[in-house]
């Protein structure tokens, strides 16, 4: 049995810790079943955003007439669109793996690992062990229990980003950010999309006003079935037939493809984490303390498999803390998750940070809330964004910024100034008293804060 100082399971953000360990001349084992780089590089944020940008370009062309420009699309090259993302992602993954294979003090084990004990792992028929273990093996798409689904050629987000042919009709099951982004990508490029969601509106994790506006916009763009469940799935020739029910009525949705986008589950079962006696929660995510150590001394975890935030920037943040806490046990720091932002690269974009209005009410906070429409700013009017708005919350007396929620053009960019202010401990005045370029889009953020009655 080979023994190492550190064992890192997963080649996403965990590589930040393995690299630090190797630099300290510790022996490191990296266990990875698939391509290096983790979910973000291979099956998530990087390829999806490269593809979604193509949809954004198509949206620009389709709305060009609003600005007096006559533009038409002669066609799309689906294979070129997919190849552009796949080739770049695969090249990066190969480079990361090769870099680790050539690095001093690092041994790469390519295969699925399964724990056989607290700090022992079996991979490719070989058992290895380590003094310290970092579990960073992420999550995978969740597949709901629907009668007949196992016999239907459905896809998840893993396969959706590498489809060799564009589906003519695509049913998407889900109502969260993955479903929203995929509906934008396929729909904008000409696929007839039907989005099936069991809830009353999309993006239920967002602020209610944002979720409501987003749902309204999407209902104008694609076919959405809300409050709807799939009771059965079956294949009929080359078609997929879904039996659906909604508020007592039943019907069928017929499509050429089915994309299941109903969330993600941790890979703790595949790793047989139970053999380590590490505690997991009711959803299967690894439990850690504020320093990212589990209940078993010397076993740590970070990233999606922890389930705090399923975001790459959160995993990167955790990796920095994990590295410090593992290698400097006398100077450990609790992870500072304050002002963790997120963004949805749909059309329109959505971004948020901090508390939603619903959460502020539930916590009994005395807060002020205000909104400002894009259209009421000079730049928002010039780009004809009639759906976008910024909503902000602050503690009524201190002016502490509690949250911000944006739907509209460049929401993923506009949220950053609020994140920076919150991370720095600044209050509302830091935004309202700043000087903004006129007439630039960020004015909508300043004006939203200016509407607060503190």
Q: Which sequence positions are flagged as catalytic?
A: 438
CA distance 233 to 442: 46
> Would you say 266 and 177 are in contact if contact means Cβ atoms under 8 Å apart?
no
With b for 16 or more beta-carbon neighbours within 10 A and e for fewer, the 316-342 pattern comes to ebbbbbbbbbbbeeeeeeebeeebbbb
- In eight-state DSSP terms, residue 293 is B
Pairing of strands 367-373, 169-173: unpaired
Region for residue 196 given its phi and psi (left: phi exceeds 0; alpha: psi -120 to 50; beta: otherwise): beta
CA distance 322 to 320: 6
- In eight-state DSSP terms, residue 400 is B
> What tokens does 132 get?
């310290």
φ/ψ (deg, to 5) at 393? -130, 145
CA distance 316 to 321: 9
Beta bridge partner(s), residue 195: 172, 224
CA-based nearest residue to 8, from 378, 236, 303, 374:
303
> What tokens does 269 get?
């079962």
Length reported for the chain: 454
Contacts of 279 (CB under 8 A, 6+ apart): 286, 287, 294, 295
φ/ψ (deg, to 5) at 351? -150, 155
Q: Count the helices and strands in the chain (H runs, E runs).
A: 14, 21
CA-based nearest residue to 133, from 305, 312, 331:
305
> Would you say 179 and 197 are in contact if contact means Cβ atoms under 8 Å apart?
yes
CA distance 407 to 274: 42
> What tokens does 210 get?
């944002």
């Amino acid at each position: 049995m080979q023994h190492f100082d550190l064992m890192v399971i997963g080649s996403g953000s965990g590589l930040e810790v393995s690299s630090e360990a190797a630099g300290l001349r510790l022996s490191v084992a990296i266990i990875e079943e698939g391509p290096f780089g983790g979910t973000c590089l291979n099956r998530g944020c990087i390829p999806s955003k490269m593809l979604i940008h193509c949809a954004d370009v198509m949206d620009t062309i389709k709305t060009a007439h609003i600005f007096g420009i006559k533009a038409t699309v002669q066609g799309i090259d689906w294979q070129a669109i997919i190849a552009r993302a796949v080739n770049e992602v695969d090249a990066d993954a190969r480079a990361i793996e090769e870099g680790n294979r050539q690095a001093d003090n690092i041994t790469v084990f390519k295969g699925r690992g399964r724990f056989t004990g607290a700090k022992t792992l079996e991979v490719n028929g070989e058992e290895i062990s380590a003094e310290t273990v970092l579990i960073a093996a992420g999550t995978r798409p969740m597949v709901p229990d629907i009668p007949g689904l196992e016999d239907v050629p459905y896809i998840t987000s893993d396969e959706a980003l590498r489809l060799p042919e564009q589906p003519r009709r695509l049913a998407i099951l889900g109502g969260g950010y993955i479903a929203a982004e995929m509906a934008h990508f396929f729909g904008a490029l000409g696929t007839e999309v039907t989005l099936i969601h069991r809830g009353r509106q999309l993006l239920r994790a967002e602020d209610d006003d944002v979720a409501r506006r987003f749902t309204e916009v999407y209902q104008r763009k694609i076919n959405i079935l809300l409050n709807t469940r799939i009771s059965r799935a079956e294949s009929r020739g080359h078609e997929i037939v879904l039996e659906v029910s909604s508020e007592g009525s039943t019907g069928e949705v017929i499509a050429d493809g089915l994309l299941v986008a109903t969330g993600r589950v941790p890979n703790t079962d595949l790793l047989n984490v139970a053999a380590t006696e590490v505690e997991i929660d009711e959803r299967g995510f690894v439990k850690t303390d504020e320093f990212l150590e589990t209940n078993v001394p010397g076993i740590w975890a970070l990233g999606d498999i922890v389930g705090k935030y399923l975001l790459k920037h959160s995993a990167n943040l955790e990796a920095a803390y994990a590295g410090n806490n593992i290698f400097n046990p006398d100077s450990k720091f609790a992870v500072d998750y304050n002002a963790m932002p997120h963004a949805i690269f749909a059309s329109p974009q959505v971004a948020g940070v901090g508390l939603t209005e619903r959460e502020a009410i539930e916590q009994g906070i005395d807060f002020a809330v205000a909104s400002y429409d894009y259209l009421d700013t000079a730049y928002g009017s010039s780009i004809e964004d009639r759906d976008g708005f910024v909503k902000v919350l602050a503690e009524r007396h201190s002016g502490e910024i509690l949250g911000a929620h944006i739907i509209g053009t460049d929401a993923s960019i506009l949220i950053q100034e609020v994140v920076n202010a919150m991370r720095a401990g600044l209050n509302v005045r830091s935004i309202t008293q700043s000087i903004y370029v006129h007439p630039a889009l960020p004015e909508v953020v300043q004006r939203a804060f200016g509407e607060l009655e503190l």
